[in-house]
Amino acid sequence: ARAEALSSCMEPAVTTDGHHMEIVANIGSNADAIESIKLGGEGVGLLRSEFLYLDRVSEPDEETQTQIYSEIAETLGKDKPLIIRTLDVGGDKPLAYMPLPEEENPFLGERGIRVGLNRPSMLRRQVRAVLRANEKGKVRIMFPMIATLPELLAAKGVVIEEAEKLEITGVEIGIMIEVPAAAVMAEIFAEHVDFFSIGTNDLTQYTLAMDRGHPVLAPMVDALNPAVLRLIDMTVKGANAHGKWVGVCGGVAGDPIAVPILVGLGVAELSVSVPVLPEVKANVRKLNYEQCKQFAVKALAQPDATAVRNLSMD
Ligand code: PEP
Ligand code: MG
């Protein structure tokens, strides 16, 4: 099956009835970007920019960041979009040069965009570097862990101001949907962004109130829980009401059982780890979009994750 998927990996992921899915990669380096192209990736749905910030004694300066983002943008070129997510660290992932408060509940504390909004000059340096990389490719900027509209508007305001100063146009702005509040409010938020990307790893942990890394609970933290699927459904409907598209960049996007459901829910883009790109594309090519839509309706009506996993397409 691997050989078959590899041999067709440069073909687009089109269902038997002609529905195209964008299959892109989650990456953490330029080497990943190079590899993703070889495996048929149509762009990058998530560049986790943390790699640049971790394991250092000081913040990477704006020049360094510009250079590294530009290198990746150049690898992908003008045709393959590169979604760069701004720094997503939290109370549980401290940086030596950026003291974060001691928190009792770091996952519910200062993490994701909250870190950036509380350190505006650091956020602005990163935003400028991301914007400047657009010259070499097709860059989109994305903010992690948005929970409220004021957070979204503040982050977007930074991009608009810096883009104006740098006289850079055409960089699309998106947010991650990782907090149930954002999924529920998708229809309102959609008016203010170009796209959404659903981070099902965090969305699942926050929906079920179960730590995604918890040694005992982790097996139950399943993104195919119908509660999560209903939030994905709400997100897509909210986005589509404003003509915006939705991707999924959490681990479930690469799960063969999940792919037909996500396709059927109207997700437009699946961002998956580099090695599974060929399999996900091959998987989509075997599907029928109309059938996926019906399958998704069935999945939404299931009582729990196990029932969803036991469903069969026919
Ligand atoms: C997610 O939460 O699903 C996600 C893609 O972000 P990360 O795994 O980096 O938290
Ligand atoms: Mg996340």
Closest Cα to atom 1, ligand 1: which residue?
199
Q: What is the pLDDT of residue 94?
A: 76
> Cβ(254) to ligand 1 under 6 A?
no
Ligand 1: which atom is nearest the Cα of residue 144? Answer: 6
pLDDT at 231: 99
Cβ 134 under 6 angstroms from ligand 1: no
For 87-100, the pLDDT digits (tens) are: 999 867 778 898 88
Per residue in 52-79, pLDDT (tens digit) is 999 899 999 999 999 999 999 999 999 9
| Closest ligand relative to 83 C-alpha | 1
Asked if residue 266 has its Cβ within 6 Å of ligand 1, the reply is no
Ligand 1 and 201: CB distance under 6 A: yes
CB within 8 Å of 35: residues ≥ 6 apart: 274
Asked if the model's pLDDT at residue 303 lies above 90, the reply is: yes
Does the C-beta of 21 come closer than 6 Å to ligand 1? no
ipTM: 0.99
Per residue in 161-215, pLDDT (tens digit) is 999 999 999 999 999 999 999 999 999 999 999 999 999 999 999 999 999 999 9
178 close to ligand 1 (CB < 6 Angstrom): yes
List pLDDT tens digits, range 238-284. Answer: 999 999 999 999 999 999 999 999 999 999 999 999 999 999 999 99
Mean pLDDT rounded to a whole number for the chain? 96
**From the CB of 200, is ligand 1 less than 6 Å away?**
yes
pLDDT of residue 96: 85
The tokens describing 314, both together, are 């026919």
pLDDT of residue 313: 87
Q: pLDDT tens digits, residue range 126-164?
A: 999 999 999 999 999 999 999 999 999 999 999 999 999
pTM as predicted? 0.97
The residue nearest atom 8 of ligand 1, judged by CA position, is: 201
DSSP string for the chain: -HHHHHHTTTS-EE-TTS-EEEEEEEESSHHHHHHHHHTT--SEEEEETHHHHSS-SSPPPHHHHHHHHHHHHHHHTTTSEEEEEP----TTS-BTTB-----S-GGGSS-THHHHHTSHHHHHHHHHHHHHHGGGSEEEEEESS--SHHHHHHHHHHHHHHHHHHT----EEEEEE-SHHHHHTHHHHGGG-SEEEE-HHHHHHHHHT--TT-TTTGGG--TTSHHHHHHHHHHHHHHHTTT-EEEE-SGGGG-TTHHHHHHHTT--EEEEEGGGHHHHHHHHHT--HHHHHHHHHHHHT-SSHHHHHT----
Using a CB cutoff of 5 Å, list residues around ligand 2, an ion: 178, 199, 202
What span, in angstroms and rounded, lies between the C-alpha atoms of 167 and 246?
28
pLDDT at residue number 91: 66
Q: How far is the CA of 5 from the centre of ligand 2 (A)?
A: 28
